[in-house]
């Protein structure tokens, strides 16, 4: 077995792509791919918590994903409730849950109340953990986030500079992304953390998200060790 790369604490972001294509190749409904993808995420969280990763941010559901078929959206929403409900496992791995996306009380927010409650409960139930921070981007779009920050600067009559923009993002405490991972052969970043990932290393892989695990994560992390060598 290869040893996991030794890195300093990093912020890793994942675009978890390929669930539907994974299912199609197996003659399964797309919903089965999303179910397998949720299991893969739970495994990646367990693995990442044992690496020197301080922050893991995943693209759970974008502002554009609402146009998918209603049955598929309902299934994905159910999986997110399941993800946020894994509190016992998250606590066992000392993982603290975080969330970014359109605030629930602002115009345009579409996060159902049941998912809102699951998010709030997971954040509350893991708030004392001191290990890796798992941030789920749900009902998230980076251009919406940046536009909102710019509008808040104007409303606050604050200086229009980098510090003011950063302070008005959904979560200003998130550090810059060190490594951005995109699975399933797509070579684009799809409106994800455009501000935070400005200087990130980018790792593209043909591996579909349901098949992404420790070997693939360690290969991606090797980009950071080569940069810091």
Query: What are the residues whose beta carbons fall under 8 Å from the beta carbon of 168, sequence distance 6 or more?
Result: 148, 149, 152, 153, 156
pLDDT of residue 18: 94
pLDDT of residue 64: 87
Question: pLDDT per residue over 94-107, tens digit each?
Answer: 999 999 999 999 88
Question: pLDDT per residue over 158-205, tens digit each?
Answer: 999 999 999 999 999 999 999 999 999 999 999 999 999 999 999 999
Confidence band, pLDDT 50/70/90 cuts, at residue 2? very low
In the predicted structure, residue 226 carries a pLDDT above the cut 90: no
Torsion angle in degrees (nearest 10) through CA of 52, 12, 76, 128: 50
pLDDT of residue 227: 57
pLDDT of residue 177: 98
Q: Helix (H, G, I), strand (E, B), or coil: what is residue 200?
A: coil
pLDDT of residue 1: 43
Element (H, E) at 190: none
pLDDT of residue 220: 96
Average pLDDT, stretch 55-81?
Answer: 90
Residues forming the active site: 17, 65
Which is nearest to 90 in space by CA: 58, 60, 123? 123
Confidence band, pLDDT 50/70/90 cuts, at residue 67? confident
């Amino acid at each position: 077995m290869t040893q996991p790369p030794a890195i300093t604490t990093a912020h890793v972001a994942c675009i978890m792509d390929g669930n539907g294509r994974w299912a199609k190749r197996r003659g399964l409904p797309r919903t089965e791919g999303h179910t397998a993808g949720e299991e893969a995420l739970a495994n990646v969280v367990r693995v990442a918590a044992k690496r020197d990763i301080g922050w893991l941010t995943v693209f759970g559901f974008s502002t554009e994903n609402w146009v998918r078929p209603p049955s598929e959206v309902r299934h994905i929403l159910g999986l997110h409730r399941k993800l946020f409900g894994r509190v016992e496992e998250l606590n066992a791995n000392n993982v603290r849950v975080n969330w970014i996306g359109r605030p629930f009380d602002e115009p345009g927010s579409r996060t159902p109340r049941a998912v809102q409650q699951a998010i709030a409960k997971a954040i509350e139930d893991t708030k004392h953990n001191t290990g890796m921070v798992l941030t789920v981007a749900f009902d998230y779009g980076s251009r919406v986030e940046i536009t909102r920050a710019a509008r808040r600067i104007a409303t606050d009559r604050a200086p229009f500079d980098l510090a003011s923009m950063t302070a008005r993002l959904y979560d200003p405490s998130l550090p810059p992304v060190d490594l951005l991972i995109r699975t399933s052969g797509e070579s684009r970043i799809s409106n994800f953390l455009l501000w935070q990932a400005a200087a990130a290393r980018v790792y593209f892989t043909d591996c579909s998200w349901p098949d992404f695990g420790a070997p693939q994560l360690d290969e991606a992390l090797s980009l950071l060790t080569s940069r810091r060598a």
